[in-house]
A = this chain, B = another copy of it.
């Protein structure tokens, strides 16, 4: 393999991702220069992925690039922010092939166009250990309008977008489980795991309507727990109100234990948010405008913690504290 330098990599792989982005300063300087528009605040979120832990070394590099970007964009969406620029740090082992990096960059190129976000800077260093990918996404939100985890109050509705649990089931399908499902269903679930769909439009539409928001990355129960802890309230969810995809429903009918994966699996990157019962119509309207389905799954009570109830109002034990990336 030809000897590559940081400068080569930046020039051949990453400079094209920054082309036309004035904030990147042509990647010539050691920093990006952000020019915030008047009246906007900046949301900054960092996510790191480690080979062998957060992704498999033989996953398609293009998909890894796309998922890395989408996960960070989802963090922006969960605060009601719109994508602006990102910084990328790559920690590269000697055995990492140039072609891997090329395909990874191709994945970034494809999705940065799709989500309206562009590379503005970063760092490239070598390591003796596994590949580490760290992405810092910057989004813009009107001053004072960012959605937070801490804004939920007693009496408010709990909502989620899309369907829940598909990503966890997709991971199971990739590991050879869920043989009860047909090939198309399994493929659809895998796709949910590999290529999350950040809810940028919905996050922005919920500004001024939602009282709190989070993206479902650690699992529904765990992420609702984060909101409850930050807001000082208790979350009560009716399991039967949680929106499920057809494949997930089929899998759960065949094996009721799948319910646990639905509650504790992560990586759906749907939005979980709260709003006053007076805002129900506004929530449905905001979601319809973005062509996203939303469902009311429970309510916030006084107290602390999370409780999930079945159709007989009996508490369902969630056996893990949520899928944790650590």
Chain B CB within 8 A of A1 CB: no
Are A136 and B42 neighbours in the complex by a CB distance under 8 Å? Answer: no
Chain B CB within 8 A of A76 CB: yes
Are B36 and A89 neighbours in the complex by a CB distance under 8 Å? Answer: no
Contacts of A230 in B (CB 8 A): 26, 28-29
Contacts of A139 in B (CB 8 A): 31
Are B123 and A53 neighbours in the complex by a CB distance under 8 Å? Answer: no
Contacts of A138 in B (CB 8 A): 44
A56 CB, nearest partner CB in chain B, Å? 13
Closest B-chain residue to A85, C-beta based? B44
| Residues 44-72 of A at the B interface (beta carbon under 8 Å) | 44-50, 52-54
**Which of these, B6, B33, B38, B125, contacts A43 with CB under 8 Å?**
B33
Q: Mark A108-143, 1 if CB is under 8 A from B, else 0.
A: 000000000000111111111110101010110101
Are A31 and B45 neighbours in the complex by a CB distance under 8 Å? Answer: yes
Are B28 and A149 neighbours in the complex by a CB distance under 8 Å? Answer: yes
Chain B CB within 8 A of A146 CB: yes
Contacts of A87 in B (CB 8 A): 44, 46, 136
Interface pairs (5), CB distance under 8 Å: A29-B150, A32-B45, A46-B136, A125-B325, A128-B129
